[in-house]
Amino acid sequence: MKPSPAIIDVDVHPIIDADRVRDFLPEPWRTRYESGNRSAGGLGYWNPNGVMRSDAVLEDGTPTYTRPEPLAEHHFDANNLAYGVLNNPHIGMPLSPEPDYAASVISAFNDILIEDWLPADERFLASIQVVLSDPQLAVKEIHRVGGHPRVAQALLPGGSPLPYGNRFFHPIYEAAVAYDLPVALHPGPEGTGISGKPMASGYPSSYLEWHTGLATIYQSQLLSLVTEGVFQTFPELRIILLEGGVMWLPPLMWRLDKNWKALRVTSPWLDRPPSEVIQEHVMLNTQPVEEPDNIRHFRAMLEMFDAKNMLMFSSDYPHWDGDTPDFAGRMFPESMRAGVMGENARRLYRLA
């Protein structure tokens, strides 16, 4: 299959130089950052494949994702991308229980993407992060940088101290809508910092278990967003679920619609079937999409929800389990390929 000439990648992970972060930090946060305290920590699962692709390096061994120019050449040029959204890989910092320090480091992350990366290539778009422990600081950061013309969205971790439908987060959504920014969720630090346990049953015992269970985190967050009326309060809000899989969505919508018919009095603001709300307000990405042995099973599932308009291509470059456009594109029928590979993202982010 020949790739589309209008491919948009909604999940690219540059690595931000720690030395550069210090340049943007005031004291006392600079000294603290230099000490090595740079995130909410991790659960320490062992991934036998590592994190980054082993071939994402230059001839001298320098990674292609630590500077704008090689990232543009070896990913954007090589895959014929029209645009790509740069998502900061340090997604654990928003979950720090210390809001002032976390907000300062997050501001530095955002400034580096805007000042160092965006000017290097017009195809680069940026996600901005915000701290979760203090909505006022989060709103302040959105007001500070959310108006930049190439800031594409606000990026939140998949895990959170409360379900994302809780009114505690309403100020963040209100600020995002004011700047016409979608809010994207990205997995990684669930179970760390101020977030809850990574799975409903507790803590997984292996990377395999944790990685496969990422979909359950998004199911709970989506249920919260819908049943607590976030999309009725903020009808312009769009939520993007990154790296959580896709094919769990139709059964969840069926179950939620069935239960809503009998229990709608518990969510009086939900004035229509939840599946309609989800398909209007939620987007998902293609990586890591499910890969059944029989492609007909995959395509049958696509008919069970508005996949043509809800899915967007992502490579997850340079992570070990990333997908190239040709691999992802051939999974989808011709009738929806252009939308998935670029047009849905173009419409969502209002790109030229």
CATH number at residue 160: 3.20.20.140
The DSSP string of 183-244 is: EEEE-S-TTSTT---SBTTB--SSHHHHHHTHHHHHHHHHHHHHHTTHHHH-TT--EEE-SS
What is the domain extent for residue 56?
7-348
Residue 330: which residues within 8 A CB-CB, separation 6 or more? 1
Helix (H, G, I), strand (E, B) or coil at 13: coil
Residues 6+ apart with CB under 8 A from 341: 3, 4, 6, 7, 8, 313, 325, 328, 329, 332
Is 193 within a domain? yes
Query: What gap in Å lies between CA 70 and CA 10, rounded to an integer?
Result: 18
> Strand 311-312 to strand 81-86: parallel, antiparallel, or no bridges (unpaired)?
unpaired
- CA distance linking residue 60 with residue 58, whole number of Å: 5
Distance, first Cα to last Cα, the chain: 25
Contact 145, 114 (CB under 8 A): yes
Distance CA 72, CA 235 (A): 36
- Of 194, 233, 198, the C-alpha closest to 214 is 198
Please check whether residue 250 lies inside any domain of the structure. Answer: yes
Q: Give the pLDDT means over successive 10-residue stretches in the chain (352 positions).
A: 72 94 94 82 87 91 96 97 94 94 96 98 98 97 98 97 97 98 95 91 94 93 98 98 96 98 96 97 96 96 98 96 94 97 98 90
**How far is it, in rounded angstroms, from Cα 42 to Cα 21?**
20
**What are residue 304's phi and psi, to 5 degrees?**
-95, -5
Residue 316 tokens read as 């997850």
Give the full edge-to-edge strand order of the sheet including 81-86. Answer: 7-12, 81-86, 124-129, 151-157, 183-186, 239-241, 282-285, 311-312
Give the integer Cα–Cα distance in Å for 107 and 281: 28
Q: What is the pLDDT of residue 2?
A: 46
- pLDDT for 10 equals 98
Residues 110 and 116: their CA atoms lie apart, in Å, by 10
Q: Examine residue 83 and state whether it is found in any structural domain, yes or no.
A: yes
Residue 1 domain-assigned?
no
Closest CA to 242 of 7, 12, 42, 71: 12
User: What is the spatial distance between Cα 34 and Cα 78, in angstroms, rounded to a whole number?
Assistant: 36
What CA–CA distance (Å, rounded) separates 136 from 134?
Answer: 5
Q: How many domains, the chain?
A: 1
**pTM for the predicted model, two decimal places:** 0.96
Is 94 inside a domain boundary?
Answer: yes
